[in-house]
A = this chain, B = another copy of it.
Amino acid sequence: MNSFGRIFRISIFGESHGACIGVCIDGCRYGIELNETDFFNDIQRRKSGKHGTSLRTEHDTPEIISGVFNGFTTGSPITVLFKNENIQSEDYLQYKTQPRPSHADFVAMKKFDGFNDYRGGGHFSGRLTLPLIAAGVIAKKNIPDININAEIIEAGGKTDINEIIENAVNDGDSVGGIIQCVAKNIPVGLGEPFFDSVESQISHLAFSIPAVKGIEFGAGFSSARMFGSEHNDIITDEHGKTATNNSGGIVGGITNGNDLAFRVAVKPTSSIMKNQQTFDFENKKISDLKIHGRHDACIALRIPVIVEAITAIVLADFIMLKK
């Protein structure tokens, strides 16, 4: 269940503090120019080290170990590896008995009977979004005509977000945010009813991104408050262009040629410096918890490039399926 896609198919592996993380991509077109530098820009955008993000700084250097020959994709699976370097695993021992609130500690321990690699979140770590970005870069190269752009539009309820993030950092707290993604130049007709609507596929991947708790397309939750006469998008030309875009570019699960537009809600980082409580499985009672280590005050800051990646992955797959 670490694979996704039908034609353009990705498989992700690795743990935050293991030897490597990586992704294997099956179904990429042959003949696409690809080398390690192609990944740098998107990796850079995900990087921590900015104000409001974690201080864990990795080199995050991609290695292509299969599927590329003489600088071009070959049509066989492309594997991209990232070695883990800046590891401080001793930080994580206490969470085996004191699971962090709203973290995967408790469920992972239960699900894998204690055999999971608990260090740094293991396979559940947000670090796994790094190979996702690598897959996104390759997906984007498969659909060069489509332009995808995601950005944070709100944090802690504010659209001018700097101050609230600073407050969160100063308080040892964290804060949530909203990412908006718009993809332009989308062909009409992507999406496969009944179960593979464009919304179904994008939301499926979006909820793979740790901390995402909601998604809405076009007017989304606002639609529920509207009348049909307000909401309906009037078609204005033979290409299907509409006067408004409350549908977010998707009707009947299928792209209508207008901009694909959606938003995801990102919860505040679960790891906060502030004192918290949790159940202590050793002493069998609720007790105080102090989390140390390197964490993001606003993980949403790092997520736009990941949202772009999953959008590109889904669109590449749909476009290949359509042909």
- Which A residues fall within an 8 A CB radius of B? 1-4, 6-7, 9, 11-15, 18-22, 24, 26-27, 30-31, 63-67, 69, 72-79, 81, 99, 101-104, 106-108, 110-113, 115-117, 119, 121-124, 128, 154-157, 168, 171, 173-178, 188-189, 191-197, 199-201, 203-208, 210, 212-238, 240, 242, 246-248, 251-256, 265-272, 274, 276-279, 281, 284, 286, 300, 321, 323
Contacts and interface: CB of A to CB of B under 8 A. Distances in A.
Contacts of A116: 30, 69, 74-76
A1 B195 contact: yes
B101 A2 contact: no
Contact of A224 (B2, B222, B256, B267): B267
Given A107-B252, A227-B175, A240-B110, A204 B195 contact: yes
Q: Which 9 residue pairs are nearest across A and B when measured between Cβ atoms?
A: A104-B252, A214-B216, A1-B192, A174-B228, A76-B123, A199-B207, A157-B225, A228-B268, A223-B267
Contacts of A189: 107, 110-111
A213 B218 contact: yes
Contacts of A286: 234, 236
Contacts of A12: 77, 194-195
B177 A279 contact: no
Contacts of A66: 13-15, 18-22, 123
A175 B230 CA distance: 9
B14 A276 contact: no
Nearest to A111: B189
B115 A223 contact: no
B194 A2 contact: yes
Nearest to A177: B224
A107 B156 contact: no
Given A66-B123, A223-B265, 12 more contacts: A1-B26, A1-B27, A21-B66, A30-B113, A31-B115, A69-B117, A76-B193, A104-B251, A107-B252, A201-B204, A226-B267, A234-B276
